[in-house]
Chains A and B, each alone.
Chain A
């Protein structure tokens, strides 16, 4: 009944093994790290519900097959990508475009980089020993999804922001799926924000509804001491997509770090977030909003690891679940011995709009220091009938009243985003989702 022997490989596992054997020689750099990571995957297999961290997202069942690795985008693919990221025009960010997992400088806005900012292709940088040394070490993990990413990563970007540099525009990483033959994409990026620097990094993942693809994306982010960094990830993949994302963040002392995960779209989403607080005096806000419909499945798994004390962290996650969708939130706050004066609070709220939707939540505390203030709250329920009635009694039609309440519910998390343009864009996204729903 417990961890039994590994059963026979699934079709997806077999396909991944074959793909690795056939194509590892063509993958850029990091040969030994890839081998080691693939061994880790082969030993564990695709994570399934008996693996505690994947209890509610059984990847072995959800990922019936592994698509072939995506080919380099051709002219048709690139033409389709011309307007990628246009939905975020109001953000006025510096576009960095990846098409089918490949960094495309011609589509990216690399002119007049601010002093101290460098942007490189991961495919080219992976051969650089200095990069190889950093990769996989920002927040080391034996997570199988990350191991798969390490084994197969084809491209991505390496972003460096020098000490004290202040970027005037957000960096906007657009990961675009061009919709060719069914394919899988593995991207890996590395962003290092120096001491006292200021940067905002937006990632948006998009693809057309009919596209058949799988994404495994990973970002390692280092937030230097006294730096102020915002990272916002928008998962707006096409309806057929399977999207697995891992974000590893190491935060220095006296820093400010804001994270936001916006998820609407894709058949299956797993957003993993490993944040480690390495220095004292840091203030962090980690938030997210998930909107699901149909048979969509989205999982947000967060580990906030307080190694150093005296940090303040606030985590707020909201999910709105309609149709037969399933929303999963797993959040763990760890306070290591000596991380005294940690103030970390987590809230996860799910709104169920249909009888068939399901919300699973597992907020954990693991506390090894006594002088801390930690807590979590989690709720699940439907819209408040009394409030709905009140709005209707004031003449607001039912659907509008509902929409209003849903917007307010999600808004509580979105309000944590400092960038006004992005905030407005995401509020528009919510409005669009609601419109599509009705």
Chain B
């Protein structure tokens, strides 16, 4: 695997404070006034030209949010957030929605060009300008896209609060796949949005989800019609650029009967001293025989080596296997953010439905991660599988928190959970908090967890073969997370491997 070597080079090149994506794009932006009140909500809704029902929905959420308290059960600590000291809406200034790349601020394009490597979205963005014939070729034999190399990715890029570009729209439209900013979907397909929005993560689900419902500004919307296998990877790219801006995107993905879609989300934020708030909501709905594969590579700015700055990532992600034999699979690589609080979950409602959660969570420096999943078995013969790999280095704290629950009627439910933690250095912590609830006798739940360190003997063995201390750690860690890396789409696995070693930079010696 040449990626190992690339990984190793990467470690050497990048200094701990040189967060690769920490450049700032200076563009004019259009902001809502600082702070949060009814008017902010109305402002956002008006900006988006939303229907009345949507505004009412938001205002209702806002009213409920005011009665709620911030959760404090996670093993994370941070100073109180002043919700009145944030901007809730920031959009790059523009006259109308972009119709082609030419209309997009070159600064933004430049930003994506610089970001290019992890998600190849620059290439994807440029794809818009490719001759139509070329695109059509790929459209006709979508199956051939499986070969990996040269596989195209349709990208919806979200910059601060708004979607700036969506690629391959026309090609997707040919097979009936809707992929667009959710603000656009509210205009063009309001009935679909209304039918599904908030049905997986209810408005009052939790403090951050409710806040999101009130102020979300954009995000992606995907609808895959019955029987359609989406011909390419869909991807959203999130980036927080503005200072003191909260990013509240909302993603809604519906896979109708017998359809399939693979979706990838990537995130970065420039380095700043202030903490930036990210409170997203992702809702997935899989109907009968449908499958959704959702992958995340999260490398928001983690703060500097003294623990200053970084993103607060408080995210609610939930999938509803609503139909029989449906399947939802979450894969996540979490390397960034000062604080991560997220539990991508599956509600296994349909009989014979299946949920998967594969996670690599790496914490270094002063990062705090509290992440895991919930697998709620409601339907008969539902199956879930959880593989979690936590790596703690530096002075970080890394917690796996998970719930597996087999309800009375979930006869024949099965779960297998494996969560392993690896500690690098003696100043970090690794914690495991699983909740296991078996409410019927035919359910079989198996959970195992281990905590270990990279043994000195193993490191010495690698060094005796010529690897430096950091190369040795990167090699062993890549081995440790291999099971999960394999579940990422091919083109991202290599990037993921690089990210892992970059994140572990400075963890040894």
Tell whether A358 pairs with B437 under 8 Å between CB atoms, given A365-B421, A367-B421, A381-B443: yes
A379 touches B445 (CB 8 A): yes
Tell whether A378 pairs with B447 under 8 Å between CB atoms, given A1-B68, A362-B433: yes
Within 8 Å by CB of B434, from A52, A358, A364, A379, lies A364
Within 8 Å by CB of A375, from B68, B423, B446, B451, lies B451
A1 touches B69 (CB 8 A): yes
Chain A residues, CB < 8 A from B136 = none
CA of A123 to CA of B425, assembled, Å: 50
Closest to A381 in B: B444
Chain A residues, CB < 8 A from B408 = 355
Shortest beta-carbon distance from B91 to chain A in Å: 32
Tally of contact residues, B, Cβ under 8 A: 42
Q: Does B94 contact A (CB under 8 A)?
A: no
Instruction: Digitize A374-388: 1 where CB-to-B-CB distance is under 8 Å, 0 elsewhere.
Output: 111111111000000
Closest to B398 in A: A367
Shortest beta-carbon distance from B312 to chain A in Å: 18
Q: Does B149 contact A (CB under 8 A)?
A: no
CA of A371 to CA of B436, assembled, Å: 28
Chain A residues, CB < 8 A from B421 = 365, 367
Q: Does B430 contact A (CB under 8 A)?
A: yes
Of A73-81, A225-233, A234-242, A346-354, the one contacting chain B is A346-354
Chain B residues, CB < 8 A from A382 = 441-442, 444
Q: Does A109 contact B (CB under 8 A)?
A: no
Tally of contact residues, A, Cβ under 8 A: 39
Closest to B399 in A: A366
Tell whether A372 pairs with B441 under 8 Å between CB atoms, given A2-B69, A377-B447, A378-B434: no
A360 touches B441 (CB 8 A): no
A381 touches B434 (CB 8 A): no
Query: Among the interface residues B206, B421, B425, B436, which one has the most CB atoms of the partner chain A within 10 A?
Result: B436
A337 touches B426 (CB 8 A): yes
Instruction: Digitize B206-231: 1 where CB-to-A-CB distance is under 8 Å, 0 elsewhere.
Output: 11000000000000000000000000
Q: Does B428 contact A (CB under 8 A)?
A: yes
Chain A residues 351-409 with CB under 8 Å of chain B are 352-355, 357-382
Chain B residues, CB < 8 A from A361 = 434-438, 447
Q: Does B450 contact A (CB under 8 A)?
A: yes
Tell whether A375 pairs with B448 under 8 Å between CB atoms, given A340-B426, A367-B423, A370-B453: yes
Q: Does B440 contact A (CB under 8 A)?
A: yes
CA of A363 to CA of B419, assembled, Å: 12
B451 touches A360 (CB 8 A): no
Q: Does B194 contact A (CB under 8 A)?
A: no
B451 touches A367 (CB 8 A): yes
Q: Does B439 contact A (CB under 8 A)?
A: yes
Q: Does B449 contact A (CB under 8 A)?
A: yes
Q: Does B432 contact A (CB under 8 A)?
A: yes
A370 touches B424 (CB 8 A): yes
Closest to A327 in B: B438
Chain B residues, CB < 8 A from A375 = 448-451
Q: Does B302 contact A (CB under 8 A)?
A: no
Query: Among the interface residues A55, A353, A354, A358, which one has the most CB atoms of the partner chain B within 10 A?
Result: A358
B451 touches A371 (CB 8 A): no
CA of A369 to CA of B426, assembled, Å: 5
CA of A357 to CA of B440, assembled, Å: 6
Chain B residues, CB < 8 A from A355 = 408, 440-442
Tell whether A352 pairs with B440 under 8 Å between CB atoms, given A1-B68, A2-B71, A374-B450: yes
A352 touches B441 (CB 8 A): yes
Give B residues with C-beta under 8 Å from A.
Answer: 68-73, 206-207, 406, 408, 421, 423-453
Q: Could you list some 26 contacts between A and B, CB below 8 A?
A: A1-B68, A2-B70, A2-B72, A3-B69, A52-B73, A338-B426, A350-B438, A352-B438, A352-B440, A359-B436, A359-B437, A360-B437, A361-B436, A361-B438, A363-B449, A365-B431, A365-B432, A366-B431, A367-B431, A367-B451, A375-B451, A378-B446, A379-B444, A380-B406, A380-B444, A382-B441
Q: Which 9 pairs between the two chains have the least Cβ-Cβ distance?
A: A380-B438, A352-B441, A370-B423, A375-B450, A381-B444, A365-B432, A361-B436, A370-B453, A378-B447
Give A residues with C-beta under 8 Å from B.
Answer: 1-3, 52, 55, 337-338, 340, 350, 352-355, 357-382
